[in-house]
């Protein structure tokens, strides 16, 4: 079975499970940053973006270490999302026990955490990683509420 990333379906899931504006904006920001890296690295921007949009979509309903991101991954599997997506989402949680092996897994973690550890995972100095993310976020400034007056 072939699977094609569907941004509209991913946004619908995000909005169904995430009502809070701050968590939605977090998803949009991580999405923009991860898509920016996908462009830089010649990777599948649609796939990476859908993964980033959905990495925390279950957090508002199930914020405990026992349930997040596991409940979300179960829902995504029921919707036919492939292992490349669900594994990356599991790997973004340090406590899941899922290693970060693929470029997508490393970039998702780095863009979600915005830490020295995340930058090191993608082999960049933190300052360069921050600059890359800021550049990617500029394209989504209106959606993120970051447009200057």
What's residue 148's pLDDT? 63
Distance CA(57)–CA(30), nearest Å, equals 12
What's residue 123's pLDDT? 97
In which element (H, E) is residue 47 found? helix 45-54
Q: What's CA 99's distance to the chain center, in Å?
A: 16
pLDDT class of 2 with cuts at 50, 70, 90:
low
For residues 54-74, average pLDDT: 97
| Better pLDDT: 126 or 145 | 126
Distance CA(99)–CA(107), nearest Å, equals 13
Instruction: Express each pLDDT in 88-101 by its tens digit.
Output: 999 999 999 999 99
What's residue 5's pLDDT? 87
C-alpha atoms less than 13 angstroms from C-alpha of 28 in its C-beta half-sphere: 20
Write down the residue that tokens 């863009």 correspond to: 111
What's residue 149's pLDDT? 47
Instruction: Express each pLDDT in 20-46 by its tens digit.
Output: 999 999 999 999 999 999 999 999 999
Instruction: Give all domains of the chain, ordered by start, each with its CATH number.
Output: 7-143 (1.10.3210.10)
Report the chain's mean pLDDT, rounded to a whole number: 93
Q: Whole-model pTM?
A: 0.93
């Amino acid at each position: 079975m072939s699977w094609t990333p569907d941004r509209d379906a991913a946004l619908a899931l995000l909005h169904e499970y995430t009502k809070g504006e701050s968590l939605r904006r977090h998803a949009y920001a991580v999405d923009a940053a991860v898509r920016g890296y996908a462009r830089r690295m010649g990777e599948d921007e649609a796939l990476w973006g859908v993964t980033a949009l959905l990495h925390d979509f279950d957090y508002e309903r199930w914020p405990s270490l026992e349930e997040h991101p596991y409940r979300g991954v179960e829902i995504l599997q029921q919707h036919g999302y492939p292992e490349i997506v669900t594994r990356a989402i599991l790997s973004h949680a340090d406590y899941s026990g899922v290693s970060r092996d693929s470029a997508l897994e490393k970039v998702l973690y780095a863009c979600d955490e915005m830490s020295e550890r995340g930058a090191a995972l993608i082999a960049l100095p933190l300052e360069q990683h921050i600059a890359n993310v800021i550049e990617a976020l500029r394209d989504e400034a209106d959606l993120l509420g970051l447009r200057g007056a």
